[in-house]
Amino acid sequence: MGRKRNERAGYDSYTRDEFDNPPAGPMGVHRGTRSLAARTMPYFVVLLVAVLLGFLAWALLSGAASSIRLPWASSSSTAASSTTSKSESSSASDTSSSSSSATSTGSASSSASTSPSTSTSSSSTSSEAVNKATSIRVINGTSVSGYAAKQKTVLNNAGYTNVVAANPTGSVPSSSVVWYQNETDKSTAEAVASSLGISTVSQMTSISAPIVAVLLE
């Protein structure tokens, strides 16, 4: 008893504070009850991460990731698109210019190739109109013996194959002339006149051959 009294006396000699009057009941360090949002937040975060990972895996496997445009990539895409458009425009312009040049060259070539064809066709028509196998009589109306035979040789050398030299049997014109019977013989008559150096060519239906050349001094 004396011991307890001494302890009590010693206890009472100190100044009392809040620790000398502890609350009744058990005491300890513990956390209070958390809210519903705080308790469900970890599950929500896990679910969101799982959804994002699933979407990423789907995008990679399906190829949809290439169509996803990031905000910071828009400016570079616009610049690249502008550059591509300029390149395509320049390419189209060059192509159009080349096409125009090719067309002009083709037209010039076509024109150049057409001209010789036209000339050849005209020359061919002219040569076909001259019939060097037609019957031709060369009449000597001069006083020079053998002059008709000489001019016959000139025509033979020019390619005419049916030429006869003869003397006049009736009246003769006042100057050298080449007569032809039909219009189809006109070109041949003009060619004969050119070979013989005669300037007058006229139609005469009553002559004895398709073409008659009368030679006078």
Residue 17 included in any domain: no
Residue 20 included in any domain: no
Q: What is the pLDDT of residue 80?
A: 54
The answer to whether the beta carbons of residues 212 and 188 sit under 8 Å apart is: no
What is the 3 state secondary structure string of 12-63? HCCCCCHHHCCCCCCCCCCCCCCCHHHHHHHHHHHHHHHHHHHHHHHHHHHC
Q: Around Cβ 120, how many Cβ atoms within 10 Å?
A: 10
Residue 27 included in any domain: no
What residues contact residue 133 under an 8 Å CB cut-off, 6+ apart?
A: 160, 161, 162
Residue 202 included in any domain: yes
- Whether the pLDDT of residue 35 is over 60: the answer is yes
Residue 155 included in any domain: yes
In this predicted model, what pLDDT tens digit does every residue of 155-198 receive, in sequence order? 999 999 999 999 988 788 889 999 999 999 999 999 999 999 99
| pTM exceeds 0.85, yes or no | no
Residue 184 included in any domain: yes
CATH of the domain at 146: 3.30.70.2390
In this predicted model, what pLDDT tens digit does every residue of 136-157 receive, in sequence order? 999 998 889 999 999 999 999 9
Distance (Å, whole) CA 123 – CA 117:
10
Residue 207 included in any domain: yes
Closest by CA to 192, choosing from 142, 126, 131, 121, is 131
Q: What is the pLDDT of residue 123?
A: 42
Distance (Å, whole) CA 167 – CA 147:
10
Tokens 């905000």 sit on residue: 71
Domain limits at 170?
136-215
Q: What is the pLDDT of residue 5?
A: 59
Count of positions (residues) in the chain:
217
> Residue 15 phi/psi, 5° resolution?
-70, 135
Distance (Å, whole) CA 150 – CA 53:
115
Instruction: Name the domain count of the chain.
Output: 1
